[in-house]
Chains A and B, each alone.
Chain A
């Protein structure tokens, strides 16, 4: 069974600082890895999807890397803004099922 861990559980940074969120997984036979954003009381918004054959994906200020051999993915958010405050979840797909980490709650201070 795929186990996904996210560290740290919470992060508080001043506006403008770059964010680095870490995700580790136990089963390297991962099909793909997704990063999501969740605002309080809301559903999930997909941020980036990295296929197993890819090493990274970029969208605007977001960049995510995937290293299957070490079982790690990292989400970088450049020049953070208060609107980036949310919980960020990573999830790995095996057998078409997503296994979620517990998330990193980010607070960007104005």
Chain B
């Protein structure tokens, strides 16, 4: 149980295009999901907290117009990187809160912007 999936696992796009990443809780409902990014050999940095049915809460320094988050249902949150640039290339990971507030993580999405 408590499986979180992400799609796609890997995406390569041209500079200036937008990329959507999906995060799904497969066997449980998650009112709260989190989006992180991870640079090579560094730890995870929380970008935003995604709440079902309401606006996401962004961490300081994260541009909300750049990273659009939608949490349309109890099992799906999406992160859209708008007008992506090479500096947005990173590993993006989502997580979902379980019943005991334990967080379960997706397998991550490797974004490369050319």
Contact = CB atoms under 8 A, between A and B. Distances in A.
Chain A binding surface, main DSSP class? strand
Chain B binding surface, main DSSP class? strand
> Interface extent on B, as a size class?
20 to 34
A32 B34 CA distance: 17
Contact of B110 (A41, A98, A103): A41
Interface string B19-41: 00000000000001010000000
Interface string A89-108: 10101001111111100000
Contacts of A98: 34, 44, 46, 95, 103
Given A100-B43, A100-B44, A102-B43, A44 B100 contact: no
A34 interface: yes
Contacts of A103: 43
Contact of B34 (A41, A97, A102): A97
10 residue pairs, one from A and one from B, having the closest CB atoms: A43-B107, A44-B105, A43-B108, A100-B43, A102-B43, A49-B102, A100-B44, A43-B105, A43-B93, A43-B106
Interface of A: 31-32, 34, 36, 41-46, 49, 51, 89, 91, 93, 96-103
